[in-house]
Amino acid sequence: MNIDLSHRRAIVSGSTAGIGLAIARGLAAAGAEVVINGRTQARVDEALQLLRSSVPRARVTGVAADLSSAAGSADFIRQVPEADILVNNLGIFEPKGFFDIPDEDWLHFFEVNVMSGVRLARHYARGMRQRNWGRVLFISSESALQIPAEMVHYGMTKTAQLAVSRGLAETLAGTGVTVNSILPGPTRSEGIGGFLASLAQKEGVPVEQMERDFIAEHRPTSLIRRLATVDEVASLAVYLASEQASATTGAALRVDGGVLRSIA
């Protein structure tokens, strides 16, 4: 299958590292003009350099904006008024027991993980509807369906993304705009990978063993029994952004290594 996105402009939120950076790379390699985003200009510049060195003909630009606030999103939108493909990748996580999560954390997680995507979709999906072509993706998580007891607030935001995604797909029924969610499982991004690498160093064990132990202890239903790579997640995102994926909408697709046991 030849995926050609050379006439499309894509935005990937929170894409200076991890899954977002890999999605930006995949979209750029498929020919799209890609706008990346992070909070600081230094991180954005570093990521742009990485993208240009790994995809020689990449058409990439970047916007430094904190998308966790309405003002940050408005600033981003002012700089990039239109897009054909929107990947709502930005998301934060932090293990914390239910009884220790204060109101501020619930609200902050909702603001970053849910409202960043709502605000961007509310703006960009209008233009997509007018042009009768568009792709909106929400990077949710298997944690949307299998709520982790060690971070219920994170799970709440990931389930909320599925609701927003399905609801927006319903809103855009009959148009050429598709809206889908992706449910990754544990993935070797900067967040998780970095956390396990530093834990491995502290305990003096190889990082591979630390990753295997993490999966065995925290995600025992994994069928691949390893972390996924960011590129494995990005491949699904690039497909969903493609012309070829035009009949897939309103769906929640997994790239979770089989962690979720339910079939439907």
239 is catalytic: no
Binding mask 204-243 for ligand NAD (x = CB under 6 A): ----------------------------------------
d(CA 153, CA 163): 16
By CB under 6 A, tell whether 180 contacts ligand NAD: no
d(CA 168, CA 126): 11
Residue 254 Cα distances to 2, 40, 123, 237, angstroms: 22, 31, 26, 11
Contact 182, 141 (CB under 8 A): no
Three-state secondary structure call for residue 246: coil
15/165 with CB nearer ligand NAD? 15
134/186 with CB nearer ligand NAD? 186
Binding mask 7-46 for ligand NAD (x = CB under 6 A): -------xxxxxxx----------------xxx---x---
* Smallest distance, ligand NAD to C-beta of residue 115, A: 11
* Smallest distance, ligand NAD to C-beta of residue 5, A: 21
Three-state secondary structure call for residue 259: coil
Residues 124-163 that bind ligand NAD (CB under 6 A): 139, 141
d(CA 39, CA 260): 32
The single residue of 109, 124, 138, 154 carrying the catalytic annotation is: 154
Contact 187, 229 (CB under 8 A): yes
Three-state secondary structure call for residue 62: strand
Q: Name the residues annotated as catalytic.
A: 154
Site of interaction with ligand NAD (CB under 6 A): 14-20, 37-39, 43, 66-68, 89-93, 112, 139, 141, 184, 186-187, 189-192
